[in-house]
Amino acid sequence: MKRSKTFFVSAATVSKTEDVPGVLIVDDEASVHDDFDRHLTVRAPTEFDELRRSLFRRSEARVADRTRFAIHHCYSGEEAIELLDTEVGDTIALAFVDMRMGGGANGIETLASIIERRPQTHLVLCTAYSDFTWDQVLSVLGADRKVHLLRKPFQGWQAQRFASVLAQKWKFERRGNHGVAERR
């Protein structure tokens, strides 16, 4: 089952569709996909939110600074690779990939395929287990490859931070590569 959604987390800074970073979620558990949706999107404020903000004088600046994402959901490594082989793959800034998925490719095999097809994609390995040591993971994927680890269960702010920082880095790298091509 594949779902792709574009979540407009902030109407602020992004104006062109190609500038919207894609976030690929690869996990065989629907509840994990729901968690990422909840953490990477901003819902309309409720009366309770307004009351809480007025009582505790919370600023909405934190919400305004968030990036918007095109979130793509895949429930297996094979499904993710199929998606990356389409034109959508060009827009994937980062991938959150589960280490253990039922049947088919595991997280390390999926990450290796992503690196092979889309080396510009930032990678976050998500796991609650320690089937492999970090050294083993890096020996398969390459020690020079910037792979990040997100331990499950994770806090919402951790997913938001990874997505925001890595998406901004991806945008910066894309602009830099385009600038180099234009100067030649």
Question: Which pLDDT tens digit goes with each residue over 36-61?
Answer: 998 898 666 678 777 877 787 655 44
Domain residue limits, the chain = 3-183
Both tokens of 2, joined, read: 């594949």
pLDDT > 70? residue 62 = no
| Main-chain phi, psi angles of 18, to 5 degrees | -70, -15
Percent of the chain with pLDDT over 70: 78
CA distance 72 to 24: 5
pLDDT-derived band at 3 (thresholds 50, 70, 90) equals: low
Least confident of 15-19, 61-65, 101-105, 110-114: 61-65
The class (CATH top level) of 3-183 is: alpha beta
